[in-house]
Structure 1
């Protein structure tokens, strides 16, 4: 059990994926495919820059874009710029930094307003902390900062207390627990919020959402997909609101390949 679960930080989630039947997918022509990135399409790495996008992943994304007439979006905690670097050939919408920014139809937009001076201050303070405690890894985001403790699980409580103190002193920002990390991001930012916007516009409007994700930050989006009559797939072993589960990113890639035909 992770530290945030022991403290009740995220509330209680049932392991509903263990109680549901075989995954029943909508027909591709009626679906919108929405995918997290790290831990869902690619395996988690020790460091954010260490992930590998396989040829199979690139192939399935291209196949999905063609089969679904472009209704495929990547929804990630990474920035849009990072997603573009790892997925240079992906032409669908990119929703970055948990929904604070988006690239669609070649246009890059900020979806929320936030104080950039506060973000700079938060990043500086987190960097100073990690300089004293090198077992932690700091990740800079356009709208916030992440403190990873994957290499120091025994110090999870320290990571939480430090990031809580930063968030309490930053008006308009809040702490977001994640798998082996704590992030500070603007209030009102969420993958579900950004997806509500996407699913009401253009080719995505009126389609049945299929969402796959692995992290705590994906839970609201998984719930949104199910509430809209769609499919929610949890990737990995963590507890979830999702009704279906696959164990690894490679399992998801194979599953999507069978669905797309």
Structure 2
């Protein structure tokens, strides 16, 4: 069942549409955005995305209108985000919260077993080499097996990654859209977001969070519990009260709000 949920064959009720989305006043708001599938369209390969100039312009406008209270919260590494958005100088939460760039300084949020991470990456790479269409993405604190180009073998990917995660103490399986990731069980986007909301720049502000994946459900739930605005991108079942079908729709909403 988990495999079919990941490939979109078992979509549940989606949140309400964009017509009802109400965003807080600029002076009261803090904006948090996932990257892949939220700001940009998902590509067949992690390195295959494109970042339209409109996104760079919108982020700059948001920083100006919100006095810098704009952060990206992604499963990608901080270095990946920096490569795709070189002009964005705000906070970056990478690797689901395992990495953070604050005021230009990037650091791991805690010490991780780098030897075990390297072993997990090697095992996944060896397994992926046996099946055409599998793609491995390594991260500073984990590894992802993508099967978007081999969806007929998604159940095999799940079985292998689930077994590997169960054998790796201190790590867990994180399902995503057409991908399975093994990451430390002590990190999460919601944990990182909660910490960021306690910093001086963001404290006391009303959070807005937009995300498209299962990894975004915990921060969406956190933001909703805080009285903020939680927006699910992609029409899948979510705890969020609002939903938009595409990144383009989110971009239009934010451009209108920031105008």
After TM superposition, the score normalised by the length of structure 2 is 0.95
| Contact kept? 1:195, 1:221, Cα under 8 Å | yes
Q: Encode CA deviations 1:187-207: one digit per residue, 9 max, x unaligned.
A: 121100000000011210010
Per-residue deviation, 1:168: 1.5
Name the structure 1 match of 2:20.
22
Name the structure 2 match of 1:56.
54
For residues 59 and 143 of structure 1, do their structure 2 counterparts lie closer, same or farther at Cα, with a shift above 3 Å needed?
Answer: same
- Corresponding position: 1:241 with 2:239: yes
Provide the C-alpha distance between the structure 1 equivalents of 2:18 and 2:69, rounded to a whole number of angstroms. Answer: 26
Name the structure 1 match of 2:97.
99
Provide the C-alpha distance between the structure 2 equivalents of 1:112 and 1:220, rounded to a whole number of angstroms. Answer: 20
Would you identify which runs of 4 or more consecutive aligned residues in structure 1 move more than 6 Å?
A: none
Name the structure 2 match of 1:68.
66
Number of corresponding residues: 256
Structure 1 residues 191-200 or 107-116, which shifts more? 107-116
Provide the C-alpha distance between the structure 1 equivalents of 2:110 and 2:169, rounded to a whole number of angstroms. Answer: 15
What does residue range 106-255 of structure 1 map to in structure 2 within 5 Å? 106-255=104-253
| Contact kept? 2:207, 2:229, Cα under 8 Å | yes
Unmatched 5+ stretches in structure 2: none
Tell me the SS of whatever aligns to 1:40.
Answer: coil
2:41 is aligned, of 40, 43, 46, to: 43
Per-residue deviation, 1:16: 5.7
For residues 133 and 85 of structure 1, do their structure 2 counterparts lie closer, same or farther at Cα, with a shift above 3 Å needed?
Answer: same
| Contact kept? 2:18, 2:243, Cα under 8 Å | no
Provide the C-alpha distance between the structure 2 equivalents of 1:205 and 1:16, rounded to a whole number of angstroms. Answer: 30
Name the structure 2 match of 1:3.
3
Structure 1 residues 177-186 or 166-175, which shifts more? 166-175
Provide the C-alpha distance between the structure 1 equivalents of 2:127 and 2:65, rounded to a whole number of angstroms. Answer: 47
Unmatched 5+ stretches in structure 1: 7-11
| Contact kept? 2:18, 2:244, Cα under 8 Å | no
| Contact kept? 1:32, 1:207, Cα under 8 Å | yes
After TM superposition, the score normalised by the length of structure 1 is 0.94
Q: Encode CA deviations 1:155-185: one digit per residue, 9 max, x unaligned.
A: 1110011001111121100000001000000
User: RMSD value over aligned CA atoms?
Assistant: 1.8
Per-residue deviation, 1:18: 3.4
